Amino acid sequence: MTPAAYLACLNGVLRREWLRFYQQRSRFLSALVRPLLWLLVFAAGFRAALGVSIIAPYATYITYETYILPGLCCMIVLFNGMQGSLSMVYDREMGSMRVLLMSPLPRPFLLVSKLIASALISLIQVYAFLAIAWMFDIQPPLWGMLAAAPALLLAALLLSALGLLLSNGIRQLENFAGVMNFVIFPMFFLSSALYPLWKMRESSEWLYWICSLNPFTHAVELVRFALYLQFNGQALLVCLSLLIVVTSSAVITFNPQHAAVRRAPGS
């Protein structure tokens, strides 16, 4: 296989994902509405108008809206990663995944291409969200927005890989509701996305430890620090190593026969 063949394949996967995203405008809208509701409704009700205590990477007092911005960026990425897993189940059921896997290129490459495609789509949504937040006067430094791109990409890859790994265990489309309840919500709520970890610690030491072990917390902190032009080595290390472990496990456990085998006798 020549490098050109690999590129052609990556290009094909990216374009398919883009076309799907472009055609499902309601999905884009819902991906934006969800974090905006949190930002403009939840944060407004929760409003800490007197300021959130200073914690790294912030140099001064911030509003609650400013605090939850990185968490909501990661929320978009999380939902997108999980929606990717949904599309994977759908693809397997409808057979389009088998078309992709007919490619002579190695399967890990095909899957990683799919992860990259899904991560890039997440990034578009995150920046659209940041642009809207900017209009509502929630403005991280401009250079920070740029610096956050690699952090967001890493977070998106990690969460997409996690979605892929999960989809390997899901047999049916309907099980996605279970993913929502048992993966997305706990991951989001048991993290530093909505409240600083020291605040968690005040209420329960156990909750604090669960939150600090949650990979989503590290993704959020990586993005939060990058948005304010600072580097969080620990978060980067955790995210990178998890990315490698989760992607490898997802690739190893991937079985395109799941749906086909199960359906074969009845069909």
Query: Which positions lie near another protein, rule CB under 8 A?
Result: 47, 49-51, 54, 59-63
**Cis bond upstream, residue 108 (ω within 30):** no
Quote the CA–CA distance of 27 and 83 in Å, as a whole number: 10
Instruction: Return the closest-CA partner of residue 81 out of 232, 216, 251.
Output: 216
Nearer to another protein among residue 22 and residue 136 (C-beta): 136
> 152 Cβ partners below 8 Å, 6+ apart?
73, 74, 77, 122, 123, 126, 223, 226
Q: What is the DSSP string of 8-50?
A: HHHHHHHHHHHHHHHH-HHHHHHHHHHHHHIIIIIHHHS--TT
Sign of CA dihedral 45, 81, 213, 150: negative
